Structure formats: C-alpha cells, structure tokens
A and B are shown apart, each in its own frame.
Chain A
Amino acid sequence: MAVIGSLGTDRLKVNLAGLKLNNPTMLASGILGYSAETLSSIVAGGAGAVVTKSVGFKPRKGYANPTVVQADFGLINAVGLPNPGISEFVREIREMKRLGVPLIVSVYGFSAEEYATVAKKAVGAGADALELNVSCPHVKETGSEIGQSPEVLAEVVGKVKAVVDRPVLVKLSPNVTDLVEIAEAAVRAGADGITAINTVRAMAIDVETAMPILSNKRGGLSGPAVKPIALRCVYDVYERVKVPIMGCGGVTDWRDAVEFFLAGASAVQIGTAIALKGPSVFRSVSRGVDAYLKKKGFRSVNEIVGLSHRS
C-alpha cells in the first residue's frame, strides 16, 4: 500500500488557513467519521485531510431507517446527525490524532453557546481545525436554520472564534437565496475558510405505496447530481471572499476536482464517491490532478485556483 503523500510531488501540497495538506483531497463530513479505525482506511486511500462526522453537545440517535435512498445520479440522505456527543467523542478525537493527516472536527449546536462549547472541547482533545455545520438540511433548529441567517451565523462564528485558536471553516448550505451574502457574513465574523456546499434539499416518493421513502420525508441530495450547483456556488463565493474555499459536491474523478479548483476552490471534499469507488478514490483523484498540472505546465495546484475567473 502506498504511503500518504507518496505521489512524491510538491505540486499537490496546499496550505489551507494554516492547515498543511500533502494533497488537496479531503474526506467530507458525515462519511465513516465515527472512529479512528475507519478513518484510517480513508487515509490509506490517500485523503489529504479528514473531516469527522458532525458532533454536538449531547448524544443523538438520528432518524429511523430509511435514512439513505438512491437517486438517479446521487444519494438522498436524512440520517439525522447521529453522534455520541462531544464528551464521549473526545476519546475518538484523541485516537484520530494518530492518523497523520490534519484532523478537522465537524461541529453542530442548537445555539451559539453550544457550538462554542463543543468546538472548545474538540480543540482541547486535539482537533487541528473545526468545520461548523451550519447547513445540515434535515435537523430542526440547527444546521441550515443557523446558516440561512447572516446575523445568527455571525454570532455562532464569533462565539466559536473567541474560544478556539485553530482555523474555523464554515460549511454552507445551497438552500438559501444568497449564498454569497452568508459566506461574507461568516468571513466578517472571523471564518478562516468556507466549505461549499452541503447537500441540496430533496426527497423521494414510492409510487406503489404513495409514501415518501425517507423516514424524515425530506433529506439532502449529494453526488454527481449536485456538482454543477456546487461549482456555481464556489465560483460565486470566490469572487467575494479572500479565505480558502473547500469545494464539495459530486467530486468523483480528477476532472471534477480540477473544475472546482478552476472555480476557486483550494481543496475538494469527497464523500458519496466512496460508495462508488472505495476509499482509494482520493488517490485516483490526486494522481489525475497531478497529471493534469504536469501536462499543463503548472508547478502547483495553487496556480490554478480561481483560474476560470480570468476569462
């Protein structure tokens, strides 16, 4: 098995708000992020960094099944933020420190104070950075209900920034009228980076029984179906904010990743594609990006970030 960063190239190295990655691919939040042991397979697959499943103040069981349903070009999920709560999760975070890649802990809360408390504990246990989940489309009074108001979001980011000394990324929802306004509010409040996007609100209905399939009825769509939406969001945000952007939504191969870099992302996050291609999807994307950079005569992936804005 190849060692992390074994591509042996500096072309892929990126620095995201102080986080040093050997390659610009990251595990997206929500995928296999309960335990260090499962994340180790993602790191072995070539991920440059990992984002944990979202953790909150108290334990949550999530929703009854069906929690995941296959759409034509993606998956719709409403898992419901299951997590053991931060007091229990700090033990996993300490284990995850041994993974050898930057560890980003995804945090959610039902108030600005809860976000801050969870964030502080996560950093205390060793998180290299935080990603604020202000965009989960299927749990009430958190997630996208926070991330759709610039004022509420600014309060959350401000309170978290006041208690931690690590980079704070903010993961945004596409389910808003003006994503750019939200991104600007997050950055003004101190966000060190923006992840765009979380899943797109969606649902599936069974024709025989006339019933919504997900137990929560509504969920969030991920995978190739949302890539064009995510790409447009990254492109728009890049025009207005100066912090690094993590592109997220449907990245399955190197070409998708390059599109996100050209739109303005400094790194890409991958989730749904793991079901299609396995954990080695990270390595295959990195290799493809590296080959593209070499062919085009670029010395670093940083040189193509936002390149499509020139035209």
Chain B
Amino acid sequence: MSAYRIAANKLRTTSILSVRTESPTVTTFTFKDRECARAKPGQFLMLWIPGVDEIPLSILDVGEDGAVSVTVKKVGEATEALHRMKAGDFVGVRGPFGNSFTRKKGKILIVGGGTGMAPLWFLVKRLLPDVERLVFVMGAKTEDELLFMDGLKKMLIGGNRQLVATTEDGSCGITGLCTEPLDRLLTNERFDMVYTCGPEPMIRKVFELAEKCEVSFEASLERLMRCAIGLCGSCVIGKYRVCRDGPIFTSKQLREVEAEFGSSKRDFDGKRIPL
C-alpha cells in the first residue's frame, strides 16, 4: 500500500539534544522524535532549519532511548547554518520517508563512501545479530573523512567480520577508491547481498561489479527533494520517485533507469543536468 501516514508528514519542532563532531566538515545531530524513532535502516527524514531551508537526510541511528541521529556534511548554505546550531536549538522534522534496505541474513558485503556511511551504520547495527558474515568496505578522500571508523572497528570484531578502509591519498588503509578491493572480494567469495551508499558514480561502479558477479544488490540514491511524499516530481529518476519508490533501489530497478543512474539528475527547474 502506497498510502503515507499523515502523522509522519506533519512537521514537528524539536530541540537538538546533542552535537558531535565526526570530522572537520561532518557533524552528527541528535534529537527526540517519536515518528522517526520507528524508522528502518535506509529511510530518510526532512530536516527544517528554521528560516533557512529544509533538507533530506538519511537516518544514522535510533538509540534505545528513542533519540534519532542524522549526520550532515557542510556542503552549502543550509548545512552551514545547521552546523552553527547548538544543543537546545530548534529544528523541524518530517518523516520517516521512503523504503528501507531488505534485511538479509547470509553473507553480506557493504560498501560506503563519504557521508553515504550514515544509512549503512544503521543497517550494520540492525543486521549484525543475524548475519553469517559481514565485510564492510569504507572509503574517503583522507583518513579524517573516514566516518564512524572507531565504532565500526568495535562492532566488526570476530572471524566472520571484516572492515576494509580505503583512502584516496593513502593516509589510511588501501590507497585508492573504495571500489578497488571489491573486484577481488567479489571474485573470491560468494556474497548473498551487496548494500551500498555514497557518491552516485561510486554506487554505479559497485553496481556494475555486482552485476558482473551476479550478486543481489541494493543502493541508496539521493536526488533533490521538495515534498518527500511523491507529489512534486523533483526527485524522479526514470519512472521512479526517489522519495516514495526509493531511496533504496534494487539492481532490477537500476537497470531500468540506466540512462540516468550515475550520470544525471533533475535540477531545481526540472531540467536534466549532469550529476
């Protein structure tokens, strides 16, 4: 059923509980919200920065106390304004919106790039108790930008779990893009599922490798968002609305939108532009 719950779409104003610096440009904000506390890994919310903008953000985590976290990189006016906010300041929240990653139990490979790590952190937390094996490949430009490294190291202790880091400048782990070690990993071992999120050209590369090895695949995509409830058409990719039909897409769906996937998106005026 495609119906949305009006309660989830209604804007709630809530105060920021805590602010945590993840890297020089990335910060995590935590707040209480009953609706978003029910979110599943992969879902997103719309965060209102009063008087500035409203932006889509993947949900990073839902704590046992029901506190909801989002991780935000400074990329423009809205995110810079958000980065200036402190505990006690008010933000508005709508959501959670969209679908979520399917929950698999077998051998799992997860690939995360940049701030694409946020929904994957949530996913790992929920998957870990049941998986047979989990390999997490994370990549960033520099060591500074490898998000949630310490937490992941702690979570991925044990024989059937593995964390592989890559940096473009070689400051940590394997030098190069996070897609570098994938070819070998996918050839040497049979995985039941590949999950990924990050810059779309990276996602596209991971998709192609998964296609080559015929492994099931799910990716979280990002597009410009306005209504978040499937009406305005701002976030469309092919016949799909990222806000309602996504943000998680399977390889079958991505094959259908191959002309746009990894190459173009719609601009604010609806025109198709390069990613």
Contact = CB atoms under 8 A, between A and B. Distances in A.
Interface string A249-287: 000000000000000000000011011111100000000
A205 to B, nearest CB: 11
Interface string B45-86: 010101111110000000000000000000000000000000
A79 B226 contact: yes
B10 A70 contact: yes
Contact of A213 (B92, B230, B239, B269): B92
Contacts of B6: 70, 276
A59 interface: yes
Tier of interface size on chain A: 35 or more
A278 B182 CA distance: 39
Tier of interface size on chain B: 35 or more
B271 A67 contact: no
A158 interface: no
A176 interface: no
B11 A62 contact: no
A216 interface: no
Nearest to B1: A278
A31 B10 CA distance: 19
Contact of B13 (A84, A206, A275): A206
Contact of A206 (B92, B94, B230): B92
B233 A38 contact: yes
Please report whether the interface of chain B is mostly helix, strand, loop or mixed according to DSSP.
loop
Contacts of A207: 13
B249 interface: no
B48 to A, nearest CB: 6
B9 interface: yes
B4 A276 contact: yes
Interface in A195-212: 204, 206-209, 211
A65 interface: yes
A20 to B, nearest CB: 26
Given A67-B232, A206-B11, A271-B231, A34 B55 contact: no
Please report whether the interface of chain A is mostly helix, strand, loop or mixed according to DSSP.
loop
A82 B268 contact: yes
A277 B2 contact: yes
B54 A66 contact: yes
B238 interface: yes
B47 to A, nearest CB: 10
Interface in B1-28: 1-4, 6, 9-11, 13
Give the most central of A41, A70, A79: most B CB within 10 Å: A70
Nearest to A222: B231
A102 interface: no
Interface in B206-223: none
A68 interface: yes
A64 interface: yes
B265 interface: no
Contact of B233 (A35, A213, A276, A279): A35
A41 B233 CA distance: 12
A59 B271 contact: yes
A120 interface: no
B50 A70 contact: no
A215 B269 CA distance: 17
A61 B3 contact: no
A61 B236 contact: no
A66 B229 CA distance: 13
Interface of B: 1-4, 6, 9-11, 13, 46, 48, 50-55, 90, 92, 94, 225-234, 236, 238-239, 241, 266-271
Interface of A: 30-35, 37-38, 40-41, 53, 59-62, 64-70, 75, 77, 79, 82-85, 88, 204, 206-209, 211, 213, 215, 271-272, 274-279
15 contacts: A30-B232, A31-B232, A32-B231, A37-B236, A62-B226, A62-B268, A64-B52, A68-B229, A70-B6, A75-B231, A206-B11, A206-B92, A207-B13, A274-B230, A279-B2
Q: 3 tightest A-B contacts by CB?
A: A278-B2, A65-B54, A61-B268
